[in-house]
Amino acid sequence: MKVLVTSGPTREPIDPVRFLTNRSSGKMGYALAGAFTHEGHSVLLVSGPTNLDVPANVDFIPVETAAEMHDVVSKHIGRMDIAVFAAAVADYTPATVQPRKIKKSGDTLALELVRTADILGSARQPFGFTGTLVGFAAETENLESNAREKLIRKHCDLVIANDVSKPGMGFDSDQNEVLLVYPGRTESLPAASKHELSLQLVDAIVLLSTNDSQPLTNHRFPMTDLELATQAALEAGKLIRQNFGSDATVDEATHHDIKLALDKESQDLITGILLGARPGDALYGEEGLAGNQDSPRQWIVDPIDGTVNFFYSIPHFCVSIALRVAGEIVVGVIHDPMVGETWTVEKGGPAMLNGRPIQVSKREDLAESILYVGCGKDEESLRSGIERFHRASLRARKMRMMGSAALGMAYIASGRIDAYIESRISLWDIAAGQLLIESAGGKVELTAVPGHADAWSIVASNGRVPLDEIL
């Protein structure tokens, strides 16, 4: 693969003898360039001034300023498969460079600085880079949340975050300890030399890049059902996110509903990943059936829950995947590709959000609760739904009707809202959410709607707020 690595500090000249710079040694970027080459990839290293030797067989373009690095990257990034931005680029540069050495005069000296271009932030737009994009975040506080904010803001596939306030780590040191912040999860790698760490990082980045373009059947490691479902949800989420805001092809529109070509595309992608890895399984999705329908193992898939929101450019929708074995839901994953939140659960284990255990809310009083009451799509459920909404709204603190049942259930599992009530809903909307809520300490009651296969009325809650009076 072709890999671009930026590294080192930049130097922003003040006058012919002085410059602004930072404490980056360039060691991490150089170690990464060496490790990619060692693994057989072709590397272009673009670096600010360092004391390091350029690793063997690495193409090298030296730069000084942020502006020079920006120009070189913009010229070369288009032909790359992977771009890793390890440089500590100056965020500000002197507004003017004095042509002659500044002589000392008064007691103070003010320098006017202006912002430099954000190179990593330009990679997707305007550079148009579509490969695997990796940034670094050197932080002194709120490591994970700051890194996740960068991940989203700069449209990265991965942000490698380190806490530079830890003694002996990061800047100028040979050691580093990092968090890998992905859209749907965070992993931590223990402290290691920058050399060892770079080998692990190259593996993680190459894997990410391979998974970006190929179905999971080529995955190197055997995966658990939960890992497989998570991977499928993330891949589908990526497809949906890439299409968000652009004109979608409508396959079918009724008065109260819309089906997009993307619903089908997303389900096809999920089917390829799940059944590619588990060819004997059955799949039951909103967009139809696939696989061996006699199998006791059945994947239940909603490829986009909240299609109407998606179509109207409202960023609130998700992918929902559950696995039912012999009639019992054993795995659930709900992924919100816009916020980068992924809920996961295995039967008997804790419900998790981005790798951390979650619990339903402890609220017991309706007057403090937030209720999501859906009103359905057909005339009858709209009528009864509105009446219930009216009753509930007089008792609850706030009502919400958000447009994605699965995401609403994930919000209950996380303790954000307290209950979800709807009189007619399909299995694929609620299967993963049910296991999530129950594993997070809540309660889900389903009643079959007579005369409709797999249609349910649902009352899901934290198990504490009294709902009987409003049902």
Q: How far is the CB of 6 from ligand CTP (least distance, A)?
A: 6
Told to check if 205 binds ligand CTP by CB under 6 A, we report no
Told to check if 118 binds ligand CTP by CB under 6 A, we report yes
Q: Which lies closer to ligand CTP via its Cβ, residue 87 or residue 435?
A: 87
> Considering only residues 24, 37, 65, 116, which one is a binding residue for ligand CTP as defined by CB under 6 A?
116
Told to check if 456 binds ligand CTP by CB under 6 A, we report no
Which of 41-49, 84-92, 339-347, 431-439 is the region at the interface with ligand CTP (rule: CB under 6 A)?
84-92
Active-site annotation holder among 22, 51, 142, 162: 22
> Considering only residues 138, 164, 345, 436, which one is a binding residue for ligand CTP as defined by CB under 6 A?
138
Told to check if 46 binds ligand CTP by CB under 6 A, we report no
Told to check if 161 binds ligand CTP by CB under 6 A, we report no
> Considering only residues 16, 17, 79, 91, which one is a binding residue for ligand CTP as defined by CB under 6 A?
91
H, E, C per residue of the chain: CEEEEEECECCEEEECCEEECCCCCCHHHHHHHHHHHHCCCEEEEEECCCCCCCCCCCEEEECCCHHHHHHHHHHHHHHCCEEEECCECCCEEECCCCCCCCCCCCCCCCCCEEECCCHHHHCCCCCCCCCEEEEEEEECCCHHHHHHHHHHHCCCCEEEEEECCCCCCCCCCCEEEEEEECCCCEEEEEEEEHHHHHHHHHHHHHHHHHHHHCCHHHCCCCCCHHHHHHHHHHHHHHHHHHHCCCCCCEEEECCCCEEEHHHHHHHHHHHHHHHHHCCCCEEEECCEEEECCCCCEEEEEEEEECHHHHHCCCCCCEEEEEEEECCEEEEEEEEECCCCEEEEEECCCCCEECCEECCCCCCCCHHHCEEEECCCCCHHHHHHHHHHHHHHHHHCCEEECCCCHHHHHHHHHCCCCCEEEEEEEEHHHHHHHHHHHHHCCCEEEEEECCCCCCEEEEEEECCCCCCHHHC
Told to check if 83 binds ligand CTP by CB under 6 A, we report no
Which of 132-140, 172-180, 308-316, 397-405 is the region at the interface with ligand CTP (rule: CB under 6 A)?
132-140
Which of 111-119, 243-251, 318-326, 377-385 is the region at the interface with ligand CTP (rule: CB under 6 A)?
111-119
Site string for ligand CTP, 5-44 (x = CB under 6 A): -x--------------------------------------
Cα separation, 436 vs 344, in Å, equals 7
Residue 462 annotated to the active site: no
Told to check if 137 binds ligand CTP by CB under 6 A, we report yes
Q: Which lies closer to ligand CTP via its Cβ, residue 205 or residue 236?
A: 205
Q: Which lies closer to ligand CTP via its Cβ, residue 91 or residue 328?
A: 91
> Considering only residues 31, 77, 83, 87, which one is a binding residue for ligand CTP as defined by CB under 6 A?
87
Q: How far is the CB of 203 from ligand CTP (least distance, A)?
A: 19
Told to check if 176 binds ligand CTP by CB under 6 A, we report no
Q: How far is the CB of 339 from ligand CTP (least distance, A)?
A: 19
Told to check if 4 binds ligand CTP by CB under 6 A, we report no
* Residues near ligand CTP, by CB under 6 A: 6, 66, 85, 87, 89, 91, 116, 118-120, 135-138, 150
Catalytic residues: 22
